[in-house]
Structure 1
């Protein structure tokens, strides 16, 4: 993957966000920093970065995809209520890849584990409204 100033700006913007943004969310931020970047250019660069392992593309059961600059081993939790994406330590399921390979006789080359449910903040709001 060749260097591009636009790709660098996109990656810097992604890294400076504490959330796991969608392309549309990133685009809203990028318009102020780099008004020449189109939404199509953003998607193309995000896909190239994900394909090359620089970032993670998080596909849940619903569109749109979210993006994560953290490529270290971890999982994700998507809240069904607020749609936020949270990092989950891989310590919650140690050796899951090794156990899967041993149990099934497969070789796992890539995996992405996503938990869906209701986050702590949304649970509190639900309790307060009842």
Structure 2
């Protein structure tokens, strides 16, 4: 996945810097849907000269190329997800954890929406909200 992403950046004329490589590796390996601040905090030890702006600028480049998607839920900071395939997100209302899940049956939703409305559909997004198992356990213990 990382090699494919690096190749994609090269094809778009984006130079690979050590910081850019580290941000990309972090996104590929961390499935926590980090915010720009999360990425900055995780990498600032390795790159003391790196700023939050550097992280944001690189995320913007990755987004333009289609390597990451920006997820904005309400007024919280945007989270970033390395795009490997079409998938959906379930979000914990208590701690904010975001978990991926696949449900291929939903891939047909764009065709159905187009047929029913006459729209030319470009994309869709599905978010499911609830309470994660960790928060459920904590709520059980505190009551």
Structure with more contact order per residue of length (Cα contacts < 8 Å, sep ≥ 6):
1
Q: Which residue of 2 aligns with 1:10?
A: 23
Pairwise CA RMSD:
1.8
Q: 1:24-68: CA deviations, max 9, x gaps?
A: 111011112222221011111102211221111111123201111
Question: What TM-score, normalized to structure 2?
Answer: 0.80
Match of 1:46 in 2: 59
- Structure 1 residues 112 and 48 mapped into 2: Cα distance closer, same or farther (>3 Å)? farther
Contact 1:60–1:114, Cα closer than 8 Å, also in 2: no
State whether residues 73 and 90 of structure 1, in contact with CA within 8 Å, keep that contact through their aligned partners in structure 2: no
Distance 1:103 1:71 in 2: 29
Q: 2:45 is paired with a residue of what secondary structure?
A: helix
- The total of aligned residue pairs comes to 130
Tell me, yes or no, if the aligned pair for 2:110 and 2:123 is still in contact at 8 Å: no
Unmatched 5+ residue regions in structure 1? none
5 Å-filtered alignment, 1:87-102, equals 87-91=100-104, 93-102=106-115
Residue pair 1:60, 1:78 contacting (<8 A) in 2 also: no
Structure 2: give runs of 5+ residues left out of the alignment. Answer: 1-11
Q: Do the aligned partners of residues 96 and 38 (structure 1) sit closer, same or farther apart at CA in structure 2, a change above 3 Å counting?
A: same
- C-alpha distance in structure 2 between counterparts of 1:94 and 1:13, whole Å: 28
Distance in 2 (alpha carbons) for counterparts of 1:60 and 1:116: 11
Matched, 1:78 2:91: yes
Equivalent residue in structure 2 for 1:32, among 45, 48, 55: 45
